[in-house]
Amino acid sequence: MPVLLTGALLLLSGAAVVACAVVIALLGRARPRPTARILAAAAGLLGCLAAAVYCGGRLSVTLGGPFPALCEDVNMSGAPLEGLRQEYWPLRNACLYADGSSVEHLPPSVNVFVMGAAVLAAATACAAVFVSRRTRSALVRAA
């Protein structure tokens, strides 16, 4: 993915996170509270948050970031630096040493956060659809 596209997606998803948070705040003040719409906005918020964090990490990896500079020429056991490994999914940066050890510089918690937010976004979207359909069927039965 080109750097320009990644940067644009980062800005777009960051703006979408703010917009979803504002929508949730406005929907939370409405009486009666539209539960399905709040859940849909929360799904959008979580999905855009996951995209923003992932795009930020990917942009950092693509631009070289601080990662290669953090690799030491020789590790604590005296093994020389053999190479670098960069993976975009899961987002991972590692310094590889001759003795087989590696030092990761992008914590796995970033991947856990991205995957967790994406799963929660999907679950919340499904809940929004379920609540919306249940509300519609209840209204049809009442009429």
Q: Is the omega angle on the peptide bond into residue 90 within 30 degrees of 0, that is, cis? A: yes
* pLDDT for 107 beyond 90: no
Residue that the structure tokens 């504002």 belong to:
22
* pLDDT for 143 beyond 70: no
pLDDT of residue 104: 84
**What length is written for the chain?**
143
**How remote is the C-alpha of 52 from its chain's centroid?**
6
| Residue-wise pLDDT tens digits, 50-103 | 999 888 888 877 776 666 677 888 988 899 999 888 887 777 788 899 999 988
Measured from the Cβ of residue 59, the count of other Cβ atoms closer than 10 Å reads 16
CA–CA dist 91, 26 (Å, integer): 35
pLDDT of residue 117: 94
Q: What is the pLDDT confidence band of residue 130, given thresholds at 50, 70 and 90?
A: very high
More reliable by pLDDT, 109 or 49: 49
Q: What is the pLDDT confidence band of residue 118, given thresholds at 50, 70 and 90?
A: very high
pLDDT of residue 66: 63
Pairing mode of beta strands 91-97, 102-104: antiparallel
Q: What percent of the chain has pLDDT over 70?
A: 93
Q: Is 105 in a helix, a strand, or coil? A: coil
| Residue-wise pLDDT tens digits, 8-47 | 988 999 999 999 999 999 988 888 878 899 999 999 999 9
More reliable by pLDDT, 124 or 110: 124
Measured from the Cβ of residue 135, the count of other Cβ atoms closer than 10 Å reads 13
